[in-house]
């Protein structure tokens, strides 16, 4: 029976999937699973042999990110907005649905708020009904423009509640509040990941984030646009490290928020120089107008993740950027109308 299942129904076009028996196989819902981070998580959980359901409204996600699983018996995709209630039966929920890059989340601020508040209530309500564990993808933006450096989970943050970034920052803060309200009141089993800047293949080409912008500009021989003086800092983690961290958090017994990020901090100017040298060629760099409420420093304190999840990032910036540049080289060719095999 097993043999015919493994060799018969699953066609050779799919990557090899581990076999899970009925005791170990989990039914996992990933909201925002067609997006950048979500699709990498889909891959990892599918390869482990779990049943994965993606729910996505394709605002910033793409079917292409998960199309290699279409037709696989363990995989399902639902085209739906999480602001409307969703009824499925699952054991775990990775709740990632939300635009993540500033231009995307500012595109329709009210929608961003609804997704992270009403959408999160729906996913918590779902988790409550079916008794599922739920992990909420929060963000380092809950710390705002931080006065404490590096940022540890005990810092309450410094967010401008009426600024252009507030629709995202405050909605994620309410998202966290909702998780702990359900945990206290409904005994829900919650996990909260505060994710710091993440990059890698499948980032949206036009998402306006610094990594995609700089790489694409360098590949196209365009001027690299540094906002402000470029002395603001960020710390970038590669997507596979984040996926490992999210899974470690889900599988741990730790219920308070946990920072997931790479503590290696660079100024944006340093970062532009690193990308220029990795892509090669001569690129001009231009300092443009600073963006409003841009956090000036950001670096995660990851002691909690190390202690409770035994997790720390493994992929170096050079290694991660090389893979990302490889990905964008093909994407840029495609979008410029070249045939890529």
Catalytic residues: 168
State the helix-helix crossing angle for 239-251 and 36-47, rounded to 10 degrees.
60
Residue whose tokens read 């889909």: 42
Among 152, 225, 267, 329, binds ligand UDP (CB under 6 A): 225
Q: How far apart are CA 85 and CA 127, in angstroms?
A: 12
Q: How far is the CB of 299 from ligand NAD (least distance, A)?
A: 14
Q: How far apart are CA 286 and CA 276, in angstroms?
A: 13
Within 150-209, the residues that bind ligand NAD by CB under 6 A are 195, 197-198, 204
Q: What is the per-residue binding string for ligand UDP in 258-297, x denoting contact by CB under 6 A?
A: ----------x----------------------x--x---
Cβ proximity of 290 and 228 under 8 Å: yes
- Quick one: 135 or 269, whose CB is closer to ligand NAD? 135
Cβ proximity of 243 and 260 under 8 Å: no
- Quick one: 283 or 302, whose CB is closer to ligand NAD? 302
Within 47-86, the residues that bind ligand NAD by CB under 6 A are 56-61, 81-83
Contacting range for ligand UDP; rule: CB under 6 A; set: 15-23, 48-56, 82-90, 258-266: 82-90
Among 49, 109, 125, 163, binds ligand UDP (CB under 6 A): 125
328 belongs to the binding site for ligand NAD (CB under 6 A): no
Contacting range for ligand UDP; rule: CB under 6 A; set: 46-54, 85-93, 106-114, 173-181: 85-93
What is the rounded end-to-end Cα distance, in angstroms, of the chain? 38
- Quick one: 125 or 157, whose CB is closer to ligand UDP? 125
DSSP state of 16: P
Q: How far is the CB of 316 from ligand UDP (least distance, A)?
A: 19
- In a 10 Å sphere around its CB, with 0-12 CB exposed, 13-18 middle and 19+ buried, how is residue 148 labelled? middle
213 belongs to the binding site for ligand UDP (CB under 6 A): yes
- Residue 48 tokens read as 């482990």
Cβ proximity of 135 and 249 under 8 Å: yes
Among 1, 8, 12, 87, binds ligand UDP (CB under 6 A): 87
Contacting range for ligand UDP; rule: CB under 6 A; set: 60-68, 173-181, 226-234, 246-254: 226-234
Question: Which partner from the list ligand NAD, ligand UDP, none does 82 bind, CB cut-off 5 to 8 Å by kind?
Answer: ligand NAD
Beta-bridge partners for 237 = 198
Q: How far apart are CA 8 and CA 242, in angstroms?
A: 34
Among 14, 107, 155, 227, binds ligand UDP (CB under 6 A): 227
Among 104, 234, 297, 304, binds ligand UDP (CB under 6 A): 234
Q: How far apart are CA 307 and CA 116, in angstroms?
A: 29
Q: How far apart are CA 73 and CA 256, in angstroms?
A: 35
Residue whose tokens read 């050779």: 12
Provide the CA 8 distance to its chain's centre, in angstroms.
34
- Residue 60 tokens read as 């910033």
Pick from 88, 96, 79, 103: which is nearest to 45 by CA?
96
Question: Which residues of this chain interact with ligand UDP, rule CB under 6 A?
Answer: 85-87, 101-102, 121-122, 125-126, 128-129, 197, 209-210, 213, 225-227, 232, 234, 268, 291, 294
Question: Which residues of this chain interact with ligand NAD, rule CB under 6 A?
Answer: 32, 34-38, 56-61, 81-83, 96-100, 115, 119, 137, 139, 195, 197-198, 204
């Amino acid at each position: 029976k097993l043999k015919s299942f493994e060799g018969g129904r699953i066609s050779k076009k799919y990557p090899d999937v581990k076999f899970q028996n009925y005791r170990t196989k989990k039914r996992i819902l990933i909201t925002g699973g067609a997006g950048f981070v979500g699709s990498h998580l889909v891959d990892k959980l599918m390869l482990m042999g779990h049943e994965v359901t993606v729910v996505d409204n394709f605002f910033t996600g793409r079917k292409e990110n998960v199309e290699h699983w279409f037709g696989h018996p363990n995989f399902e995709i639902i085209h739906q907005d999480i602001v409307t209630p969703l009824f499925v039966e699952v054991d775990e929920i990775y709740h990632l649905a939300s635009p993540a890059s500033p231009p995307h989340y500012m595109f329709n601020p009210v929608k961003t708020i609804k997704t992270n508040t009403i959408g999160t209530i729906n996913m918590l309500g779902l988790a409550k009904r079916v008794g599922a564990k739920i992990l909420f993808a929060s963000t380092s933006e809950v710390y705002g423009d931080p006065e404490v450096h590096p940022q540890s989970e005990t810092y309450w943050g410094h967010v401008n509640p009426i600024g252009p970034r507030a629709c995202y920052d405050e909605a994620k803060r309410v998202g966290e509040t909702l998780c702990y309200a359900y945990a206290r009141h409904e005994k829900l089993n919650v996990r909260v990941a505060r994710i710091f800047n993440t990059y890698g293949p499948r980032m949206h080409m036009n998402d306006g984030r610094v990594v995609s912008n700089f790489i694409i500009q360098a590949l196209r021989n365009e001027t690299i646009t540094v906002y402000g003086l470029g002395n603001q800092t960020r710390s970038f983690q590669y997507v596979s490290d984040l996926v490992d961290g999210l899974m470690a958090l889900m599988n741990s017994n730790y219920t308070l928020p946990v920072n997931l990020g790479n503590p290696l901090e660079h100024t944006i100017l340093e970062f532009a120089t690193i990308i220029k040298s990795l892509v090669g060629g001569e690129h001009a760099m231009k300092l443009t107008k600073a963006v409003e409420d841009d956090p000036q420093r950001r670096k995660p304190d990851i002691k909690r993740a190390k202690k409770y999840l035994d997790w720390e990032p493994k992929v170096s910036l050079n290694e991660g950027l090389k893979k990302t540049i490889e990905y964008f080289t093909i994407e840029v060719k495609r979008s410029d109308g070249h045939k890529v095999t």
